[in-house]
Amino acid sequence: MSDLHMEPDVVERCGDRLTETGGAVAAQARSFTGTRALTAAHSGISSALTLDFCRRNWSDRIDGHGTETSVLGDGFHYAVREYLVADARHAALLRGHSRVPGE
């Protein structure tokens, strides 16, 4: 992976942070969804339908952002694994082996 210019551990940490952020955003979306369910069960809690619409709209948006962020984190982890495999193959070739030990 010649287009990866960061150290693998740096990219791995970025992947960890993105995955954690995705989880936090998804939790926020669940919180909004819980509020929406409560409002639906007890109509007296919220008399403004606009408020419910806003909650629903934000819940969907936040959930979408959480999913995208988690996918981005997964992509970073995949890139690191691919980079490390390619790096191990390259090192094995430099040592005169045609295969990476353990493959």
Give per-residue pLDDT as tens, 25-52. 767 666 666 666 655 665 555 545 455 5
How far is it, in rounded angstroms, from Cα 76 to Cα 57? 29
Q: What is the pTM of this model?
A: 0.35
How far is it, in rounded angstroms, from Cα 36 to Cα 52? 6
The pLDDT of residue 1 is 42
91 pLDDT higher than 70: yes
Q: Where do we find the tokens 């430099």?
A: 94
Q: How far is CA 39 from the centre of its chain?
A: 29
Detail the DSSP E strand segments found in the chain.
none
Where do the domains of the chain lie? 8-94
Stronger pLDDT, 90 or 103, i.e. the higher one: 90
